[in-house]
Amino acid sequence: MAANDARASTTPLIERRSIDYIPEAERHGRLFSQFTLWMGANLQITAIVTGALAVVLGGDVFWSLIGLLIGQLLGGSVMALHAAQGPKLGLPQMISSRVQFGVYGAAIPIVLVCLMYLGFTATGTVLSGQALGQLLGVSDSVGILVFASVIVLVTVLGYRVIHFIGRVASVIGVIAFVYLFSRLMSQADIGALLQIRHFSWSSFLLAVSLAASWQIAFGPYVADYSRYLPSQTSSLKTFLAAGAGSVIGAQVAMVLGVFAAALSNGQFAGHEVAYIVGLGGTGATAALLYFSIAFGKVTISTLNSYGSFMCIATIISGFRGRLQVTRLQRLVFVLAIVGTATLIALLGQHSFLGAFKSFILFLLAFFTPWSAINLVDYYCITRERYDVTALADPDGRYGRWNLLGISVYVFGVLVQLPFISTKFYTGPLVAALGDVDISWIIGLIIPAALYYVCAKKWHSAVPDQLILPVEQDSVVPAPASGASRSAARA
């Protein structure tokens, strides 16, 4: 532990690495930082809005809360399984997709991940702009620009600062939410709301889908923020730390959203930030709440921007070979990413709520199959035995295009189409199922089962052990485990 603390104290404030492997000598951090990072990332206004959607779109309070909790646990488990890959591989999440899709083929899901990051950054920036506009006495548009400037700064500084912001955000978030819940309890009869129980499958599964999609959407970048942990870090403990922080934080925020929407008499939609702050009071108290809302969004918006930077660098490196990103190049990437998200936010700030719901549900069709394939391959097929040195070599073990992974992924997207229900597209089987969207369940189970069966038969040769690049490109095996001691597959 002392050595770990010493490494952290000597690590530069501005991160110098990007998508390259993190050597053991540079590993630092503790598991608790995973908990606080994901707690802080979820104790924020967009999670409140997501929870409120369960009621705004027709659900009652009691069954919405149950549905959201089930969705958190299901989606949070998927998210946390990705988090556990970070310390073992020492790599950003999406680079590991090259094992399943090929060095070039991994660009297919990564491009879609970038679109997701842009969407979430833009929608979060809208709410942050509202909060800063009220706090500073300026227009929402000016608030959006101020918030974007902060995100650029934190994203450029990188990993250590992001974790520090997460710790601060978790403390501020806990204080703000405890206060808001106490005010809510004093102003409303929560018990009476919970007594109203009109179960509807469509509303219940909508709540499950909202929470599950929220958690699954973290999957493509969650390992980016655990990759600096020492490689000896327990996978189970990483799973629990990241998963618990995300599930607890999101459920607390969404519960507040459910109660707020149920008590709003239709005043919540379109005025989300003002309504939530109004629950807490006026004057100095309101100013502090506006600040907590804006600060709460800093963590998650930075994660989105940082993840976008990682993804763009991964795409470029896949086609150009190893990529060393300078600080100036990082700044240019980040400015382009945040600038695009800010433009989207400025153009779409007045039609936020409905577009956000459709956006997060539609994205499930593209990310659940990727997540299923990645997790099945890592935990069931290769069993943590990756050749990390080959991930940068199109002519190496994983090749340019992995037709097996790509085919299962495309099938996993297509098989969901009959079951999707969004404003963008509604499948032909949705009406027969009572307008219930079960596409995310189909998108997890079928690609996972199909990839497992096919990969067991046709997967390329798996190394005997995890192969990691170290000084002088020597090869060091991973710590012995049941998985790493298994024989290599033919």
Residue 270 lies in a domain: yes
**pLDDT-based confidence at 486, cuts 50/70/90?**
very low
pLDDT at 326: 76
Do 51 and 258 meet the contact criterion of CB atoms below 8 Å apart? yes
pLDDT at 149: 92
pLDDT tens column, 250-276: 999 999 989 988 887 766 766 677 778
Query: Mind giving me the DSSP string for 108-167?
Result: HHHHHHHHHHHHHHHHHHHHHHHHHHHHHTS-HHHHHHHHHHHHHHHHHH-HHHHHHHHH
Helix (H) or strand (E) holding 467: strand 467-469
Question: CATH number, domain at 183?
Answer: 1.10.4160.10
Average pLDDT over residues 243-248: 96
Domain of residue 317 covers 2-364
pLDDT tens column, 106-163: 999 888 888 877 877 887 788 788 888 888 888 888 999 999 999 999 988 888 888 8
Number of structural domains (the chain) is: 1
> For 123-137, b where at least 16 C-beta lie within 10 A, e where not — what string?
bbbbbbbbbbbbbee
**pLDDT-based confidence at 476, cuts 50/70/90?**
very low
pLDDT at 482: 38
Torsion of CA 106, 485, 237, 26, to 10 degrees: -70
pLDDT at 105: 92
Residue 427 lies in a domain: no
Query: Mind giving me the DSSP string for 152-206?
Result: HHHHHH-HHHHHHHHHHHHHHHHHHHHHHHHHHHHHS-HHHHHH-----HHHHHH
pLDDT at 305: 87
Q: Which two tokens stand for residue 417?
A: 């189409």
- Strand 467-469, strand 475-477: pairing: antiparallel
Residue 408 lies in a domain: no
pLDDT at 122: 83
Mean pLDDT, the chain, whole residue set: 84
Bridge partner residues of 426 (DSSP): 421
CA angle 260, 51, 244 (to 5 degrees): 120
pLDDT tens column, 4-24: 555 555 566 677 777 888 898
Higher pLDDT, 296 or 155: 155
Of 61-70, 333-342, 453-462, where does the model show the most confidence? 61-70
360, burial (CB in 10 Å: exposed 0-12, middle 13-18, buried 19+):
buried
Inter-axis angle of helices 283-320 and 140-157, nearest 10: 50
Residue 397 lies in a domain: no
Percent of the chain with pLDDT over 70: 89
Average pLDDT over residues 421-429: 82
Residue 381 lies in a domain: no
Q: Given a cut of 80, is residue 335 above it in pLDDT?
A: yes
**pLDDT-based confidence at 351, cuts 50/70/90?**
low
Helix (H) or strand (E) holding 476: strand 475-477
Average pLDDT over residues 305-325: 81
**Distance between CA atoms of 5 and 78, rounded to whole angstroms?**
30
pLDDT at 471: 45
Spatial neighbors of 76 by CB under 8 A, at least 6 apart, are 215, 243, 246, 247, 250
pLDDT tens column, 206-242: 899 889 988 998 988 899 999 999 999 999 999 999 9
pLDDT tens column, 34-81: 999 999 999 988 888 889 888 888 888 999 999 999 999 999 999 999
Q: Is the pTM of this model over 0.95?
A: no
**pLDDT-based confidence at 356, cuts 50/70/90?**
low
Percent of the chain with pLDDT over 90: 33
pLDDT tens column, 172-193: 989 988 988 888 888 878 888 8
